[in-house]
A and B are shown apart, each in its own frame.
Chain A
Amino acid sequence: MSETLVTVSNLNKTFLGSNSKALDDINFEVKEGEFFCLLGPDAAGKTTLLRIIASILKYDSGAVEILNKKIPQEISEIQHLIGYAPQKFGLYEDLTVLENLDLNADLRGIAGAEKDEQITKLLAKTNLKNFTDRLAGNLSGGMKQKLALACTLIAKPKILLLDEVSVGVDPISRQDLIGIVKDLIGHGTAVIWSTTYLDEAEQHANKMLLINEGRQVFFGNPQDFIARTAGRNFLLKAKNSASNRRENLNQILQSEGIEDAVLQGDQIRILNRNDDVTKFTSDYEITKIPSTIEDSFLEVLNLKLPTFSKLANRYDKKESEKKIVIEAQGLTKKFGEFTATNNVNFQIESGKIFGFLGPNGAGKSTTFKMLCGLLKPTSGIAHVSGISLLTSANEARQKIGYMAQKFSLYGELSTLQNLQFFCGVYSLNKAETKMAIAEVVESLDLENFLNTNAFNLPLGIKQRLALGCALLHKPEVLFLDEPTSGVDPATRREFWFHINALAQKGVTVMVTTHFMDEAEYCDTVAIIYQGLKIAEDNPQKLKDIIRSEKLANPSFQDVFVDLIKRQDVEKIL
């Protein structure tokens, strides 16, 4: 029988000055060789729990034991057996890849031949061999996380605590990260993997712990958890192919007994309260599909889906006339010898959602910045509403809303002050400001947070506020740069609900994301890789490209990984 490495019993923790428990009676154990997934919505207590196990945070009552040693009293005896990677991993950005590894080896007492051997092995595993002299700060997001993982692995830990290491990382790098970790599990290490990507738990976890608001919701096998919603998942395909898929989605969301509904290409995926979906048979072709961990997650947390977007309601009825709103022609950006964006072309019609996907470092952000007028293209044209953002920036910027990665809110300002500030930036007058803030606050339910500093807001609320700030001046065009990074499924649902509603009102949306299911919500998806656009079409057609007998029903993740691998092969040939 495999050994129990971590035992947590009746664990309680309340932060000083807080009146609710951060962790409330948590009980679980982790055994040797387990891929243990720690799941939960934002602010559920995942990080707190990991920090307590890593013994850098004290707890109030209960017991934590690692390898039969009491934590934190006896931590020094086993500290070298624990590898902990915090969420904001502490890589030294001004040290090179090799210097970072070297430092970690020295700090953990790995020396001599063992050190060289470990470093060589880890460099090979993480594909960082060719980058040993690069500063960690200059690595792409995915490479950074791989280096962070390598640093934690250098002392061959028995227990690995990884706090959302896959957040903000592209699907290919995520696969690499998981591959490295799974290899360790084969050698007896236990991994506690906290994540907001539920598919990771579904595909890889032996055990999972789901917590919500500090309370334990589920501990056990992922299969048992998924089984909770089995038999109630369906794929609906509209019989009338001319009907608007977003309007259909809205109708479905408002009907009785629906627990969840999302777009999936040209179809709609639903979770019903029971297995009776006869009411849809007249309008849709219905296929029964297996349930996922996400279905059970949403149901078990009993999250209310929004049914009406007041945010979109601020906009007038859209014009029926179609026009090109965003346009890139031969867009190229070179930094010295390096071509970040290479002759990229696309057009986005009004009221469409355009997904811009690619691995970390593919040139997404560069392209984004050129469209927003923050970077000057080396050649080519970037137009928004027919105006170049570079030449008449102010005029055009008034028409766009921009939600940046990491949300660019002012942490020291309260919610209300942030809203007021952005009204000022977009030069709304006094009356407009008052009205815009009132509307945004009401439609995004921000009332209770008006006086909280943005820094202290839960991630989901931060994201809502950032969206609100970008929409105060009712822009016609919305640029969203990884708007849902690190955000849990429920919050993402709500976010996309608003985005869908805005698109129906004629707002044009360009979005980057690492969540492949979100690509399904887009009208058009472009995949960019090494500065080149390698594919552009609607999600359904992109899936058709890779559909085969073996893979009859590919996910968008399959599409992404496959297309990029094909590109790599082409390059070699």
Chain B
Amino acid sequence: MKLNLSTTRIKALIKKEVIQIKRDKSALLIAFALPVFLTLVFGYAISIDTNKIRIAIVNEDAQSSSSADLISFFNNSKFVEVKLITDSHEEAEREILGQKLSATLIIPADFNKRLEKEKIAAVYLATDGSEPNTASFSTNYVRAIMNLYVEYQNSKHGVKLDPQIEITQRVWYNEALKADHLLNIGSIGFVLSIAGTLLTALVVARDWERGSMEYLISSPVTTHELILGKILPYLALGLGSFFISFACIMIFFHTPFKGSIIIFTLIGFFYLILTTGLGLLISTSAKSQFVASQAAILISMVPTIMLSGLIYDIETMPQIMRIITNIVPAKYLIDAMRTLFLMGNDWSILLPDILGIILISVAIYFGVLRKTKKSLE
């Protein structure tokens, strides 16, 4: 295929787009103010203190006084409300669903024995993994109360308990829950979907609506020039959004970042190429701003929220949904972002993610080239 690109024409198209972006402040607002807003929403959604955590305690070691001691610590806590104390797992199971309890604390039968012999107090905590925010609250609160208990045992009874009281956390539905930073890291994926897809879809559809596109395609501008003239400015704008969300996450939430900034930027860039392409594909098919915006939300943002692992864990989905998530681009991005933030440059995870993004991009651009014809039909 002969590309036959004219830099003059591409430059002219980009210049036009830049002027339009500067005049119509809404694009700038979407690109720069929205990321800040979204990162804050996603970040604080996880950190906002909720009411008391409601828990059940299954006491398998009901005869010992030390377990009763421990329970009294929970009863006295400002942060935890003990709704049920029982020795039956079945009852706890029922209640956790019926009363919507957030966690079950299990005091094992050998609690007292191990405390005395091994100087270790082992409890189990079961949290509801489908609610990662609450699960992590519960874990932190229980850990804090257990620390108080150890301190009390140390000072009051002179019993030198080893501080490593083990909380064996068993997450029921979401065993891969890693940290409470997951959500605000994932917000980058959401931001890039909006900045890329929605913005591009809207501006191209606007050109169709106002008739500018009919005029452009009757001029010597080629299809490739048209595509580049639209993609490049919004790619740049998207990169702006990308760094702004990154900065917000680092500044407001002190999220650790273990990977390489260069790889991070590169993946973000690949992903933006994908989302702007998707925006272009949507608007060349829709041709009206209203339809284009609806389609962009439906095709890009909804899967990003629901099916990318941003909020709901993919592992816990039914198999059919798990398969579908493979074509949700945000899945790869969010996975890669979380890896880079929390684990570092783990290529065994990053490579498949990058490959996924590239493959979907190729498919999208194939569609864009087929759809963008210099014809009205």
Contacts and interface: CB of A to CB of B under 8 A. Distances in A.
Contact of B221 (A57, A102, A107): A107
A102 B213 CA distance: 17
A80 interface: yes
Interface in A507-539: none
B11 interface: yes
Contact of A90 (B12, B20, B213, B375): B213
Given A16-B377, A92-B20, A107 B219 contact: yes
A108 interface: yes
B6 interface: yes
A107 B19 CA distance: 16
A287 B29 CA distance: 68
B16 interface: yes
Contacts of B211: 86-90
B220 A108 contact: yes
Given A107-B220, A107-B221, A85 B215 contact: yes
A56 B218 contact: yes
B6 A57 contact: no
Contacts of B157: none
A295 to B, nearest CB: 34
A275 interface: no
Residue from B15, B207, B219, B220 having most chain A Cβ neighbours under 10 A? B219
B15 A90 contact: no
B212 A91 contact: yes
Interface in B1-49: 6, 8-9, 11-13, 15-16, 19-20, 23-24
Contacts of A306: none
A375 interface: no
A135 to B, nearest CB: 8
B12 A92 contact: no
Contacts of B13: 103, 107
Contact of A106 (B9, B215, B217): B9
Interface stretch (A93-101, A354-362, A434-442, A486-494): A93-101
Nearest to B12: A106
Interface string B180-220: 00000000000000000000000000010011111111111
B214 A90 contact: yes
A57 B377 CA distance: 7
A62 interface: no
B374 A56 contact: yes
A165 interface: no
B212 A106 contact: no
Given A84-B218, A109-B220, A90 B9 contact: no
Nearest to A15: B377
B214 A56 contact: yes
B374 A90 contact: no
A103 B12 contact: yes
Contacts, number: 85
A142 B210 CA distance: 17
A163 to B, nearest CB: 10
Nearest to A163: B214
A58 interface: yes
B376 A56 contact: yes
A4 interface: no
A92 B221 CA distance: 16
Contacts of B374: 56
Looking at chain B's contact residues, is the secondary structure mostly helix, strand, loop, or mixed?
Answer: helix
A82 interface: yes
Interface in B326-363: none
A204 interface: no
A79 interface: yes
Residue from A16, A58, A87, A92 having most chain B Cβ neighbours under 10 A? A92
Contacts of A128: none
A95 B19 CA distance: 7
Interface residues of A, number: 33
Contact of A82 (B8, B15, B20, B218): B218
Given A106-B12, A107-B220, A90 B212 contact: yes
A108 B23 CA distance: 24
B20 A56 contact: no
A111 B6 CA distance: 13
A51 interface: yes
Contacts of B24: 94
Interface string A103-122: 11011110100000000000
Contacts of A104: 219
Contacts of A86: 211, 214-215, 218
A109 B8 contact: yes
B289 to A, nearest CB: 13
A89 B210 CA distance: 8
A12 to B, nearest CB: 15
Nearest to A96: B19
A56 B220 contact: no
A95 B24 CA distance: 10
A87 B217 CA distance: 14
A102 B218 CA distance: 17
Residue from A88, A95, A103, A107 having most chain B Cβ neighbours under 10 A? A107
Nearest to A105: B12
B142 to A, nearest CB: 56
A437 to B, nearest CB: 27
A102 B8 CA distance: 12
A93 B209 CA distance: 12
Nearest to B375: A56
A57 B375 contact: yes
A30 interface: no
Interface string A470-485: 0000000000000000
A54 interface: yes
A453 to B, nearest CB: 13
Contact of B215 (A80, A90, A95): A90
Interface in A142-161: none
B167 to A, nearest CB: 59
Contacts of B8: 106, 109, 111
A54 B12 contact: no
A219 to B, nearest CB: 24
A96 B262 CA distance: 40
B219 to A, nearest CB: 5
A51 B375 CA distance: 9
Nearest to B6: A109
Contact of A57 (B9, B216, B219, B376): B376
Interface string A173-209: 0000000000000000000000000000000000000
A103 B15 contact: yes
Nearest to A411: B288
What 4 A-B pairs have minimum CB-CB distances, sorted nearest first? A106-B12, A90-B212, A90-B215, A88-B211
13 contacts: A55-B218, A56-B218, A56-B374, A57-B375, A57-B376, A79-B218, A79-B220, A88-B211, A91-B210, A94-B24, A103-B12, A107-B13, A109-B220
Interface of B: 6, 8-9, 11-13, 15-16, 19-20, 23-24, 207, 210-221, 374-377
Given A92-B16, A106-B15, 13 more contacts: A56-B214, A57-B376, A86-B211, A86-B214, A86-B215, A88-B214, A90-B207, A90-B213, A90-B215, A95-B23, A107-B9, A108-B220, A111-B8
